[in-house]
Every structure is written in C-alpha cells, then in structure tokens.
Amino acid sequence: MAEYKLMKGNEVIAEAAIRCGCDAYFGYPITPQSEILETLTLRQPWLETGMVVLQAESEVAAINMVYGGAACGKKVMTSSSSPGISLKQEGITYLAGAELPCLVVNVVRGGPGLGTIQPAQSDYFQAVKGGGHGDYKLIVLAPASVQEMNDFVDLGFELSFKYRNPAMILSDGIIGQMMEKVKLSPVKPRWTDEEVIKLNGSWATTGKTADRPRNIATSLELDSARQEQFNHKLQAKYKEIQEKEVRFEKIACDDAEYLFVAYGSSSRICQKAIDLAREKGIKVGLLRPITLFPYPTKAIQEMAEKVKGILAVEMSAGQMVEDVRLAVNGKVKVEHFGRFGGMIPSPNEVVKALEDLIIKG
C-alpha cells in the first residue's frame, strides 16, 4: 500500500532522506529551510536506521562534514538557504574536485546579501554556472511540487553516485514551505559497511586493506599537466551527463504558438497563466526544465522551430533566460519576465507580460 501524507516541502526532504537510506545529514539553521533539520531531530532516525543527524557549528563546517562522510563512500547530505549556500561553496567545489557524491538542498530566498526570507529563484547562476571556484558542474534538480521534493532526494543520490559528483536540489521558499499531498517513497535500508566497500571501495576511505592501494580523497594536483588532464576528465563526465540525464516536462505544447520556459515555483504559476491565456485565445505552452544542469537545450531548440516567441519566467532579474537565449540562438524572440526580492508574480502578470513583451512587442 502506498503511503500518502499532507506535508510541507521541507518536512518531506527529511522524510525522504530517512526512507532512501541516507547515512548522514549535517545542517545549520536558516530560514526558510530549518524544518528539514527540525523534522530530522524530531524523528530521531538514528534510533530507527542509524542515520547520523548533526547540527554543525556553521554552514562551512556542515559542508565539510559532508565531504568527510562522502569520502567514506556513504550517502550524506546537507541543506540550507541562499546565504548559507554561499558559505558552502568552498566545500562544494572541493567535493566536485575530489569527485565525491553528495546531496545539497538549497531552499532559495531573495538576495543579494542577507536579502529577505521570502522565496526567490535568484541562485540559478550560483547553482548552474559554478558558485565556487574552478571549472566544475553540479547536477541540479528543480522540483516544482512537494512530491518532487520527495522524489528528487533519492534521484539526487542516485545521480550523484552514478557520476561521483555533487547533486543539488534547487528549490525555493514556496516549495519548501507549502503543503501538498505526497506519496512517500518505499523504505530502503542503508548500505551496510560491506556494501559500501563493494560499491565504493575503489575510491572511498573505508580503511586501507592489504589487497588494495590506499584511497585518498583529494582535489590537489600540483602538476599543471596532470591537473589539466584531470579537468579534461571532469569535462568528459559533464558531457556524458549532458547527453544522458536531461529531464524536462512539456505542458500544452502541441498546438502552442507561444512558449513559457519556467522551472520550480514559476512553472506552477505559468500553468495557471496558460489557462488564463487560453481563455483569451492565446495558445501558449510551457517547457519546464526539471534538470537545470544538464539543461534541456535541445528541447528548447526544437520548440523554437514551432513557436513565435518565448517568455522565460523566473523569480529573478533574469538568469535562466540566458540559457534559453543560448538554446534559441536568435531563432525567435526571447524575453524575460520576473518578480524578485521575495515577490511572487501572479498568473495575470505573467499573461500580461506575454502579451506586452512577446505578442505586441
């Protein structure tokens, strides 16, 4: 029997972590995501599955605990919101450089700086284009519902271990705080130490045995030629991810003359905007990127062949729109519409923006 519950997005992240056999969560309080750590400490999964839950002294310490746990070959995660994610960037680039799998959840709030505690989508560049130093990529998943908050925890771990690369769930204050019906995942046991050695023993620091050379988790390579070679290896991995792991959803696109491109909360607002626009006789569809890296570039290219104009809707001053423009490459008009700083656009505003910027413009 499937188990259904009415839950907050943040709460379900905690529940999904326990159910997918996560070994450890290291976090630090920050609004609007503190319910993740609160739910975990209330649930006490260490009594149930042995999962470690620890409130670290800072976001910096938390992400470095994630590095330590990930290097052990275990399923470890952290979560935070924008200012805290900025602090975690040091650890994230080290994790990417040491090719360690882990899950990072960002429940985005408006910025820059301390900004606001209200929802925003202004961390797209940070999540998708880098964030920390060096040439690296995260696998970035963008949930648009509480159900996807649940589903992407397991998926995030699966992809991060498949490619030995950090994965991020890029959520926002709306998805984190809203309550929806969710079908909970079946319970998976945690890997035993023997399974960890079997699955990840070629690289994880599980204790050096006589039958293998020592495993070292490091991102250091002082020899430039070898460092370049390592970077080529990383780029080849990102290319493979780009080829194999693109995920997106198309809504009302079959007869569409115009297109919204929006992810996460904005895509939900766009769904209502589609209904309102179609009542007015405007045939508009939605392409919702589910993975932000890898980005659904080809799918957008294909839609650009069919529609008269594209509106990128995001709760930012215009970040993802750059990737839409790169995909469309001048084929049709691409404009951006966004509210930001914690403001949420209404479906009516989105329809008006489509009319003003794309149809009339």
Contacts to other proteins by CB under 8 A = 23-24, 26, 52, 54, 56-58, 60-62, 64-69, 71-72, 74, 76, 90-91, 94, 98, 193, 205-210, 214-220
Q: How far is the CB of 210 from other proteins (least distance, A)?
A: 8
Give the count of beta carbons closer than 10 Å to the beta carbon of residue 329.
12
Q: Is the peptide bond before 189 cis (omega within 30 degrees of 0)?
A: no
Which tokens is 209 given?
């045995």
Return the DSSP state at 189. P
Amino acid present at 321: V
Are the C-beta atoms of residues 250 and 261 closer than 8 Å to each other? no
Closest C-alpha to 100, from 218, 193, 189: 218
Q: How far apart are CA 7 and CA 19, in angstroms?
A: 15
Looking at the DSSP bridge assignments, the partners of residue 258 are 284, 309
| Residue linked to tokens 């999962």 | 51
* 206-to-96, 162, 275 alpha-carbon distances in Å: 20, 19, 55
Q: How far is the CB of 74 from other proteins (least distance, A)?
A: 5
* 345-to-98, 107, 119, 210, 340 alpha-carbon distances in Å: 40, 18, 11, 61, 8
25 versus 124: smaller Cβ distance to other proteins:
25
60 versus 332: smaller Cβ distance to other proteins:
60
Closest C-alpha to 40, from 264, 49, 66: 49
67 versus 340: smaller Cβ distance to other proteins:
67
66 versus 256: smaller Cβ distance to other proteins:
66
166 versus 294: smaller Cβ distance to other proteins:
166
223 versus 279: smaller Cβ distance to other proteins:
223
1 versus 47: smaller Cβ distance to other proteins:
47
56 versus 343: smaller Cβ distance to other proteins:
56
Q: How far is the CB of 27 from other proteins (least distance, A)?
A: 13
Q: How far apart are CA 261 and CA 266, in angstroms?
A: 9
89 versus 301: smaller Cβ distance to other proteins:
89
Q: How far is the CB of 215 from other proteins (least distance, A)?
A: 5
Q: How far is the CB of 122 from other proteins (least distance, A)?
A: 26
Q: How far is the CB of 52 from other proteins (least distance, A)?
A: 5
Q: How far is the CB of 126 from other proteins (least distance, A)?
A: 18
Closest C-alpha to 328, from 359, 293, 307, 301: 301
Which tokens is 44 given?
């006490």
Q: How far apart are CA 257 and CA 303, in angstroms?
A: 10
Q: How far apart are CA 267 and CA 226, in angstroms?
A: 43
94 versus 258: smaller Cβ distance to other proteins:
94
| Residue linked to tokens 């989508």 | 121
Q: How far apart are CA 347 and CA 283, in angstroms?
A: 15
Q: How far apart are CA 347 and CA 222, in angstroms?
A: 53
Q: How far is the CB of 65 from other proteins (least distance, A)?
A: 4
Q: How far is the CB of 101 from other proteins (least distance, A)?
A: 14
Q: How far is the CB of 150 from other proteins (least distance, A)?
A: 24
How far separated are the first and last CA of the chain, in Å rounded?
53
